[in-house]
Structure formats: C-alpha cells, structure tokens
Amino acid sequence: MAKHPAVFIDRDGTLIDDVGYIKQSSEVSFYPFTFEALSVLQEHFLLFIITNQSGIGKGITTTEEVSEVNKFILKILKQQEIVIYDTFCCPHKTEDKCDCKKPKTYFIDKAQQLYNIDLSRSFIIGDHPSDVQCGLNARITPVYVLTGHGQMHRDELNNGVVICSNLLEASKHIILEITRHE
C-alpha cells in the first residue's frame, strides 16, 4: 500500500487568528488566505490539525468548548471543500509533562500509524518554536509562519528553518519544494 505525504497544521495563529483561549465558534476568525492555502496543499497531501489547547488543563476552557470550536472549524473548511483527515488536540499544561503536547511527536506518530503517512515527504506548519521542534523531532520538514505568535518567537529559531509570512506563503513554498524533487 502506498504511503501518503501529509501536512500537519497548527490551529491558533496558523489556520485562524490567535485570540487567546477560544471558548465558542463566534470567536473563530479565519485568515483571508487560509482556504486558498489548504486547497493548494490538499492536492498533494493529507491534511491534519495538531493543536495544543492548554486552556483545558488550566481550567480556562473545557474539553467540550474546544471540541465544539474544532467541529466548527472543520465544518467551515468542509464548506470550502477542504478535507482535514484528523484533528489532534493536547489538553494538557506544560507542567503536566504529558506525552502528546508539541514538541512531542505523539500525534504525528499516531497519524503515521492510522493513515500510512510517509514522514520523509511530510511537513508541519506553525507559529511557535514548539511546532518547528515537533517537526524536527518527528523527522518531518518544519515551516514557520509569522502570523499569530510567529513574529514574537522568531529569534528563538535555529538557522536553516524556513520562515514564511503566513500559511499561504508556506503552502507555496512546500509545493515548490515537492515539485523540485519530482
């Protein structure tokens, strides 16, 4: 059975505007370029969302609230004919030292098993150094975006990490990379 390349995408600050701990769908604001970026990517990759939602562990949001927000995001994406194969959500605080919070690779490993992912041809896109480190830890290519918290944490990155202004630019970069290698 053929293995599939994938793109793992952070939620807040990458797909949607990072407005803090989101409790309801009315707080979700998609970036104007999100749909185009995902449409371009899904022609070549399986798409996944991986999100750290520490607000649950901190008692700021509930599992149900985060789940409803994720369902709303998926519904809007589906209306745009964008398929997200799975959404992975870590509810823990950093202090919990869980196995699933990025930069740990738990959800990428799980996706690899469930969806037969070819990690050597896969990418992760996010606005936090933990997204980049997660990609490096999983041996997939990280792409850092300057939306969300990206600008604030830019200086924390190692040299050599690809930095793009936003998800659309990251998508274009990834497509250019894969077409170079075909």
Query: Which among 150, 147, 115, 108 has a CA at the least distance from the CA of 129?
Result: 150
pLDDT digits (tens, 9 = 90+) for 170-179: 999 999 998 8
| Residue-range domain boundaries for the chain | 6-180
Place of tokens 């969300």: 148
Q: Known catalytic residue: 12?
A: yes
> Looking at the predicted structure, is the pLDDT value of residue 182 above 70?
no
> Looking at the predicted structure, is the pLDDT value of residue 90 above 70?
yes
Q: Which H or E run contains 38?
A: helix 34-42
Edge to edge, what strands does the sheet with 6-9 contain? 86-90, 46-52, 6-9, 123-126, 141-145, 162-164
CATH of domain 6-180: 3.40.50.1000
Q: Known catalytic residue: 10?
A: yes
Active-site choice (10, 18, 127, 131): 10
